[in-house]
Structure formats: structure tokens, C-alpha cells
Amino acid sequence: MKDEAHNMQTPKATIRRFKGYGLFGGATLGVLVGILVSGPHSPEWSVVLSLAVVGGFGCGGALIGYLILPQLSGALAGGGSSNPEQEDDRVQARTGSAGPEIGSSAD
């Protein structure tokens, strides 16, 4: 029953969940990159500067993950486009036809 409820999430809830994943994952990756960047410079940099570099990379990674991961996961899942014209083009490319025209009569 819990699995069924999990699979029946609304698109907004799914996007919110992936934004959380991106925020946490991006921040973690950013902090790791910040440590790698500031590590060799620690003898010559002050502690405050080293922490600022690590924090800056962490915030940058969190921002990138928050913005990119939901869109990436939607693209990989074959999600729809927010632009109706692009969605129509995608349907035409898959089906090979444009479908019936509005206002035209079928004989």
C-alpha cells in the first residue's frame, strides 16, 4: 500500500522531492570539491578563507543541484515539455503524423 501511494505522487511532489535530492547531493559534492581545492592551499590561506572557499563551493553545488536535477530527471524519464508547441512537435515525431486539423472535416 505504501508503494502504491509513493508511485501515485503528483508531478509537483515529485519535482519537490528531486529538488531536495539535488540540493543535498549538490551541496555534498560542492563541499568535497571545495575541500579538494582548499586543501593544498591550507598552509598559505587563513582558516577563514579556506572555510569560505569550501562554503562557496557547497552553496554553488547546492544551487546547481537544486536547479538541474529535477529537469535532468524529467528529461531522462521522457517527461513532457512546458511549451505546448514543443510537445506537439515531439508527438508528431513519434507518430509520424500531425493528426487531424481543428476545423477540418474528415471524409
Residue 20 lies in a domain: yes
Residue 4 lies in a domain: no
Segment 67-75 shows an average pLDDT of 76
Residue 21 lies in a domain: yes
Q: How many residues does the chain have?
A: 107
Which domain, by its residues, includes 25?
A: 16-78
Residue 93 lies in a domain: no
Residue 87 lies in a domain: no
Q: Write down the pLDDT at residue 51.
A: 92
Residue 58 lies in a domain: yes
In angstroms, the CA 79 to CA 18 distance is: 14
What is the value of pTM for the model shown? 0.57
Number of domains in the chain: 1
Position 92 pLDDT exceeds 70: no
Residue 101 lies in a domain: no
DSSP for 24-69 reads: HHHHHHHHHHHHHHHTTTTTTS-HHHHHHHHHHHHHHHHHHHHHHH
Q: Write down the pLDDT at residue 89.
A: 62
Residue 89 lies in a domain: no
